[in-house]
A and B are shown apart, each in its own frame.
Chain A
């Protein structure tokens, strides 16, 4: 089970980084969202995995999972929504203003060009 979660985090991260390095705004935003999932799950997993032990206090129950990472991740999820919304707004504004949804500035000096723009 641990391997499943670890590999899921890894795959989400890899996919997130790859999409984050794309040239247009929309894939970049999706990549950042994937990275957000990865980071949230990672933070959550730092409390270790337990099945069937939610941190809701019950009489007679002794084993609970670690509640602190959950509390931290909960706010992180909400905040990341806010951040995504801001980034989407900026991307949208840039696109509507210039009819161009590239994330890179136009490069002035051909000598430092990365050769990636067609």
Chain B
């Protein structure tokens, strides 16, 4: 089966359990099992090639320019790990089916599990280190979901968060390391990197790369000083612990060290760092494990210890060490997964994992007892079980390893660690299963169904099989070792056998086992001593560290971001000015190249009005109505300026927008206080003035700079001017740019406009359905209302003028392509015509005559514009390609038909809809405010008249 398929199967399969959830738990587990099985069989189909020593590869170029390709490869090492991941995965799925209770969402669990499985398989099969990093991060994320699966448990959430923080941090470091490595080797392909041992180790960046990559490996594989997250991750359901923390995720770091072994190992730095970290982890983990009362915590720390052992073996940098490490990975995965599952069974049946409350289970749960005992004895290193073989090899290797110039150091510590290792294994057996049967178990224990004990039993069969007949595993382990070593060393000739003669390793082993038994005998005094010794609690330190970081960032953020908008505004203004000044001062400036134009009296008068209005606004802004009038003047002058400087389209747009904006602000002012009180201090006002003046001077300087110089390159407008008529069929270049050259921009813009209008509508709806509604209804207007709500003159005038305005709008729309005008302006003009009806005749009257809801108008506009764009697909042209032709229908003159006009129609409709929907929403608020809003225009406000007359009919 293709490697792609093997990696993809779990990912695609992850969709299924969630879908099958309603089909029942059996179906859900069954489909997960099938998916895993398919991937497993797919992997096995590649076995012959791997055995023959071939490298199976699959490659798809993804982003070749970045060296990032979807390249997969399968060699002995990858096959070995994939086998563990998929094989043990199958057992875990079967086990989880029985383990999870009815309250647990099984589909969710198996989805996470398959995601994790896919990510793990991805790691071990990646041939590209960037791809590997992607999968690496995916395992961190999916394991976060798995560890925190029981969301209701705070320990689960905290453990998941801690695991994600630590492994995520390591992952970040590793990205750096991998990028350095790729830069040195000149390729991100593992197969290339692995060939460049000398080049990489001679590079000055080797040490930083090594440190960063090891940081990633150590955090993932829980090596000291990052070991603390693993025990806290035990809050996960037991199948997760058994899967992630025995066979897979924690082995990812080990895998990577093995994968990188040919290029990174063999240097003093590698040796010292990896061996030391491994040794410390092994001893520390073993000691802590002995004194843990929680079965899973004990196993967690024993896992930490064994990972340390494997790390140490890889650290020695010898071929024999690597072989011992590979063998121990296999053995550890089998016995540890079995032990975790047994612990899960005990927990499931007795409802406790506290060793102090257990004991005597041998009689009640004989099957579990046999499974757990065999696995534990293997872990302790008892002959005829597989743990013994690899532990012997470890001790043998330790015997030849000299660290810090002391030949006794490594063997002594290795023996010491093994002693504690044996001791906690014996404690696990002795205090859980042996001893008298108790009568105070939280639940009545008995052996579970075969669904739960069969998976660990299968593993224990392997434990015994390898232990009794090590030659069965030998060729496989040697094949894996060969692919770890690559070309750097020969596979050791040593045979796997139980009896090597009276070698030092055997004596060390005997010391460890006997010492372990003695340790158990003096367990109670030792425990008392342990409990009285003060020691740092990793979780507390971790939480204090996180709290400190949070406090630090809070202090920093709150300084800038304290909820005061004025502060953000000031910070932003100053930042922009400073950044602009920096850019200015570091750039080069050419001489002024344009001649200045003479000032005309008209222009000067306009300038004076604009400046007076702006300055007036600053000084009179506390009177809000006055400032609204002044801003109207400013807007008017801006549009006059547009006319003056050859921009008729802009002027028309500006002046129409000005009208609707002022109406909008008036509507708003209807509710807001009409006066702004003085609140800011004089110093504060001085500061703001300084910022404002700096900003004003900066923009003035920049505008001046632009205006007296020619563009440094020919503007692309040359193209637009040249092609507007030829290609776009219009003589108004601005309009042709809008609907043709840059039609896609315009399309986006009308959508934004529509969204803004819908947002306003939604906000109005929210306001009117909440507590604000009552307040609006009871609101007393702060100014007397006009006596005639709908003045007759205005009503008559607006109605008469309506058809005229509509015709003008239509005319502006039609001529837009060739003369100033177009959809935007026409839309605004028509909106004003409609708004005038609302203003003159009242909201009720106008909305009663509204035939098309404004939402629909917006939608129709966007739709027409979009369909016009799509239309060009039918003639195999890109989106929004325009076309035009000239037709002549006598007696009219020849005129033009362009698809751009259809697009402009869309623009027109969207603008009308958006403007009207916004204004209508505002006036709906106002309508609720003073309830007596009659259906009839040209009436008088009844509340002003003393006799309550019936609503008059005179107005229609």
A residues with CB within 8 A of B: 1-30, 33-34, 37-38, 40-42, 44-58, 64-68, 70-71, 73-75, 77-86, 88-93, 95-97, 101, 103-107, 109, 112, 114-118
Judged by a CB distance under 8 angstroms, whether B408 is at the interface is no
List 6 other contacts, CB 8 Å, given A12-B634, A23-B679, A58-B731: A10-B700, A20-B573, A64-B733, A73-B650, A91-B672, A117-B679
Judged by a CB distance under 8 angstroms, whether B676 is at the interface is yes
Distance in angstroms from B662 CB to nearest chain A CB is: 10
Which residues in chain B, 745-768, are within 8 Å of chain A measured between CB atoms? 745-746, 749, 752-753, 756-757, 759-760, 763-764, 766-767
Q: Once A and B bind, how many residue pairs between them come within 8 Å at the CB atom? A: 335
CB-based contact B641/A41 at 8 Å: yes
The 8 A CB mask of B196-234 against A (1 = contact, 0 = none) is 000000000000000000000000000000000000000
Judged by a CB distance under 8 angstroms, whether B935 is at the interface is no
Distance in angstroms from A60 CB to nearest chain B CB is: 13
CB-based contact A1/B603 at 8 Å: yes
Q: Who on chain A is nearest to B718 by CB?
A: A66
Contacts of B647 in A (CB 8 A): 44, 54, 65, 70, 73
Judged by a CB distance under 8 angstroms, whether B365 is at the interface is no
A76 to B599: give the CA distance in the assembly, Å. 28
CB-based contact A1/B672 at 8 Å: no
CB-based contact A1/B918 at 8 Å: no
Contacts of A77 in B (CB 8 A): 650, 653-654, 657
B residues with CB within 8 A of A: 558-559, 562-567, 569-570, 573, 594, 596-600, 603-604, 607, 610-611, 614-615, 617-618, 621, 624, 627-628, 631, 634-635, 638, 641-642, 644-650, 653-654, 657, 660-661, 664-665, 668-669, 671-673, 676-677, 679-681, 684, 688-689, 691-693, 695-704, 706-708, 710-711, 715-717, 720-721, 724-725, 731-734, 737-738, 742, 745-746, 749, 752-753, 756-757, 759-760, 763-764, 766-767, 770-772, 775-776, 818-820, 824, 828, 911, 914-915, 918, 921-922, 925
CB-based contact A8/B607 at 8 Å: yes
CB-based contact A9/B700 at 8 Å: yes
Known: A15-B614, A17-B691, A83-B756. A112 touches B596 (CB 8 A): no
A68 to B736: give the CA distance in the assembly, Å. 10
Task: Give chain B's interface secondary structure class.
Answer: helix
Known: A3-B704, A68-B720, A97-B772. A85 touches B692 (CB 8 A): no
Q: Who on chain A is nearest to B827 by CB?
A: A78
Contacts of B650 in A (CB 8 A): 44, 70, 73-74, 77
Contacts of A9 in B (CB 8 A): 699-700, 703
CB-based contact A75/B599 at 8 Å: no
Known: A6-B704, A92-B925, A93-B772. A57 touches B725 (CB 8 A): yes
The 10 closest A-B pairs by CB, nearest first: A10-B700, A14-B696, A105-B563, A82-B756, A18-B692, A71-B737, A57-B731, A6-B704, A104-B564, A67-B733
25 CB < 8 A contacts A-B: A4-B607, A7-B611, A10-B699, A10-B703, A11-B615, A13-B695, A15-B614, A17-B688, A20-B573, A21-B691, A23-B679, A27-B621, A41-B638, A44-B645, A50-B646, A56-B648, A66-B717, A78-B828, A79-B749, A81-B657, A93-B766, A96-B671, A96-B772, A109-B562, A114-B564
CB-based contact B775/A75 at 8 Å: no
Contacts of B767 in A (CB 8 A): 93, 96-97
Q: Who on chain A is nearest to B767 by CB?
A: A93
Q: Who on chain A is nearest to B710 by CB?
A: A48
Known: A10-B696, A68-B715, A78-B824. A4 touches B645 (CB 8 A): no
CB-based contact A67/B721 at 8 Å: yes
Contacts of B599 in A (CB 8 A): 1, 4
